[in-house]
Chains A and B, each alone.
Chain A
Amino acid sequence: MRHTHMNRRDFLKCAGAVATLPLTTVELAFADADRNFTFAYISDAHIQHIQGTKFVRNWDRGLIRAVAETNLLNPRPDFVVFGGDLAQLGKKEELDHGAEMLSKLNYKMYGVLGEHDYYLDLGEYWSKLYGPHYYSWDHKGVHFITLNSILTYDKWTFERWPSAEQRMNEMAGLDNPNGSPFMVGETQRAWLKKDLAKISQDTPVVLFSHSPIQKIYKGWNFWTEDAEDVQAMLESYKDVTVVYGHVHQIQYNQIGNISFHAVMATAWPWPYPQSYAQAESHLPKLTVPMNRANPFHERDATGWQFIDVNSGRIAMHYNLSDNTNRTVKYNPDIGKPEDSFYQAASRQVAPQQHY
């Protein structure tokens, strides 16, 4: 890649071809260099059951590839996060099939719950595989938090639908007007308040959620209803980063002290909301979009991420199948994330125009 100054890490870009990836060249935040570390992020596999032992081949291949490539990272990431929507319709078959693929990872894995994992049995089977729906842990000086951000109004969840299957199907349709806005909810916000009270204001916080903890486009639930409440709880901490899935596309933003980074799906890409002509949406202005997908390359505009943590902030490396890799990294000089190459308008390319 032409904008690399230093290559330290080799990994298999695709079968038979070895490529190099850039790591951030400045590592100065933590006086103790051992505190700089990396982790990988795989998300939105949407493993979809057809019948019997048959699953949608295309989505299977995306997750298998991400797992295989992640296993080749050297040096090893400290852990992997799976960012939600392992299943398409929350079925046991789908969660089992996906979990079987993820079990090939050579690293500890943390799970984030997505709406496609949740609305059939309200996350019961997912919990048997991956534990609690929200939790936190500390790692090398960073406080990590995982939220279940895909809850919604109780009335919608518990009263509106005659069957669990229908509830799942209604929420699974991204553009379904019968859906309902995502939210973290009061119970979890109370838990979060207590959890944050335990750490000092200068402890870096990295929060994982499935939906963006910001409001981009309600029609497709690129949205969390109580986003502002959660943001307010985080605003006094010096370095806060939110990493989210759900949107199947590159997005990044800065609101106050909080940096936002979206991750790619391994299954399929989604259009940017401005591609829908009938509604207004608010893609963060900072975001230089990913290239438009070439449907003739079935893995194009999908991918996985490895994430470099230093300075209490992150550099997000997007590993994009069949496309040029991207790096979006927090720039302390301007106080927001930026693309390491494409940020300047003069460097942007035609496929990044979405309409």
Chain B
Amino acid sequence: MKRMLTVSLLVCVLVALGAGLVLQRTSRADEFTEQDAERWQKEFMVVAQKGRELWVSPKLGTNQVSCAQCHPNGANTHPETYPKFQKQLGRVIGLRDMINWCIMNPMEGKPLKLNDPNMVAIEAYLAYERRGVPLAPGKH
């Protein structure tokens, strides 16, 4: 009787382990292929490209001025330095706040919501133009 119990317990454990293994196989979080990575990079590039289109268009403001007029290739925006203390505002802000500042002032437009897809696209474009530059948070 005792032996039978032991055997059935062992079977249960093995079944559970097996089920666990199967479950584990379908739910591994860190498995992806090179094709996946390529696809994700393409997704990023689509958004960065959308950011470039916004960068050179007058759509974000009301006075026909575009971001690229003052910032060719996104230069002098320094995405690698944000968040940082913006001395003119007296507090630490993110890059998106500064993008909105430019939209509101030189471009005389309305600020974007911080999670607006257009805002994400602009941020993606600026980061892409600055690729390879080490992060320097807070740098002025």
Contacts and interface: CB of A to CB of B under 8 A. Distances in A.
Interface of A: 48-50, 54, 56-58, 173-176, 219-220, 268-271, 275-278, 292-296, 298, 354-355
A57 B133 CA distance: 35
B103 to A, nearest CB: 12
Given A175-B72, A276-B129, 15 more contacts: A49-B64, A57-B63, A58-B106, A173-B56, A269-B70, A270-B72, A271-B71, A271-B72, A271-B76, A275-B75, A276-B72, A277-B131, A278-B132, A294-B88, A354-B76
B80 to A, nearest CB: 9
B64 A296 contact: no
Contact of A176 (B56, B63, B102, B130): B56
B130 A277 contact: yes
B75 A276 contact: yes
Nearest to B62: A50
Nearest to A217: B72
B41 interface: no
A56 to B, nearest CB: 5
Given A271-B75, A277-B132, A277-B133, A296 B88 contact: yes
A277 B127 CA distance: 11
Interface in B76-129: 76, 78, 88, 101-102, 105-106, 129
B106 A298 contact: yes
The secondary structure that dominates the A interface is: loop
B88 A56 contact: no
A268 B67 CA distance: 12
Contact of A50 (B63, B71, B72, B130): B63
Contact of A295 (B63, B73, B106, B132): B106
Contacts of B64: 48-50, 56
Interface of B: 56, 63-65, 68-73, 75-76, 78, 88, 101-102, 105-106, 129-133
B88 A275 contact: no
B106 to A, nearest CB: 6
Contacts of B102: 295
Contacts of A219: 73
Given A276-B129, A278-B73, A295-B102, A173 B68 contact: yes
B57 to A, nearest CB: 11
A277 B63 CA distance: 29
A203 B84 CA distance: 54
A135 to B, nearest CB: 30
Contacts of B106: 58, 268, 295, 298
Given A173-B68, A296-B88, A56 B76 contact: no
A220 B72 contact: yes
B113 to A, nearest CB: 22
Contact of B65 (A48, A174, A176, A292): A48
A348 B120 CA distance: 38
B63 A56 contact: yes
